Structure 1
Amino acid sequence: MENKTDEGAVNHSTTLTNKQRGNEVTVRPATLDNLSIHQLAAHGDIAQVKMHITCDNSLLNSQDERGFTPLMWAAAFGEIEMAQFLLEKGADPKTFARERECALSLASAGGFTDIVNIILKHEVDVNSYDWNGGTPLLYAVRGNHTKCVEALLRHGADITFEADSGYSPIALAVALGYRKMQKLLEDHILNLLR
């Protein structure tokens, strides 16, 4: 690059381009064409997922290196249309990942009540637990997701279940200072006693 000064002299730019420095792109950025079905589910790209499972239906419940299925990724990222689509196509909401994560726990942790309600319609274990004793209810309480907690309680979530840390849902709400959550759980206990 050359710059002309007032005197007509030519000054050469000392700024190097990336190519001159030897910095060239060696890996192309990911495009929708080369994302896995799990990544596509997390992105909510129904058209691409549909194309993949049309070609190979076994991908519907395939597990990635962590054991997550496309449904788990959709649940974790709050992709409600994707979750509905996968369940309609036959995705198994009862599958556990390597550390016993499940779609219900992932949706509960994210506060995605619509997905929680959809998954609960598929007769999943509302009290399933992961490697550290976390249940969907405990994850929803920890995230202060009252609507998720209400949905889980309506479906029989065990309010007395304790994680490996020793926290029950109500003890966790108290410890985190979630007064509204604490009242919700206390009211639920009172209703059970009536």
Structure 2
Amino acid sequence: MNLRVLVPALTMVLCAPALQGGTKLSRAALDGNIAQMTQLMEAGEKVNDIDKWGWTPLLWACYYGQEKAAVLLLERGADPNLLTIKSYGRYQPGTSPLILAAYYGHAKIVKALLDHKADPALKDSKGQTARDYAESFSFAEVVALLPK
């Protein structure tokens, strides 16, 4: 077999997991894998590290509605006001964890973020706040948590 074909193909297979979510902690957070998250943090992974997608593990936990993962990260010192620094899907740089949680109606995550000093006044690149999104999607429970 031709090595010019085999080496890139083998590299893709071996590196595929690393290409699916950034840092190991980000991947564990978006999967909601608490045991792995705990192990990774104890091994030195930082809760506020930004992965190759420009997001933190907390942003991923909020995006995927992983409540236990979000709470664990917040309890371990994750900054609830760190913003995305790269585009991902419809989300532009400057999106906060609170905006993500409100956008999807994750009320328990919104409450946890607010309890850990998330700033509800932060606006994304479209000038929208978490409350704006919660109102636009009629997430009454989330709207009730967020100040006017």
TM class, shorter-chain normalised?
Answer: 0.7 to 0.9
> What is the aligned partner in structure 1 of residue 98 from structure 2?
104
> What is the aligned partner in structure 2 of residue 146 from structure 1?
140
Q: Using the alignment, how far apart are the partners of 2:117 and 2:40 within structure 1? A: 27
Give deviations 1:39-69, integer Å, cap 9, x for gaps. 1101100111111111114x21111234211
Q: Using the alignment, how far apart are the partners of 2:53 and 2:138 within structure 1? A: 26
Give deviations 1:87-118, integer Å, cap 9, x for gaps. 11111111111211111001001100000011
Q: Which runs of 4+ in 1 moved over 3 A?
A: 28-31
Other structure's SS at 1:61 match? coil
Instruction: Give me the identity figure in percent.
Output: 31
Give the superposition deviation at 1:124.
2.1
Aligned match for 1:121, one of 115, 121, 133: 115
Q: Which has the higher contact order (CA 8 A, sep 6+)?
A: 2
Report the AA paired with residue 55 of structure 1: A
2:59 is the alignment partner of 1:69: no
Q: Using the alignment, how far apart are the partners of 1:39 and 1:140 within structure 2? A: 26
2:72 is the alignment partner of 1:85: yes
Please, what TM-score do these two structures have when normalized by structure 2?
0.77
Report the AA paired with residue 59 of structure 2: M
Residue 58 of structure 2 contacts residue 78 of structure 2 at CA under 8 Å; is this kept in 1? yes
1:1-194 matched pairs, under 5 angstroms: 27=13, 30=17, 36-57=24-45, 59-98=46-85, 99-152=93-146, 156-157=147-148
Please, what TM-score do these two structures have when normalized by structure 1?
0.60
Give the superposition deviation at 1:144.
2.3
Unpaired segments ≥5 residues, structure 2:
1-8, 86-92
Q: Using the alignment, how far apart are the partners of 1:131 and 1:66 within structure 2? A: 17
Unpaired segments ≥5 residues, structure 1:
1-24, 158-194
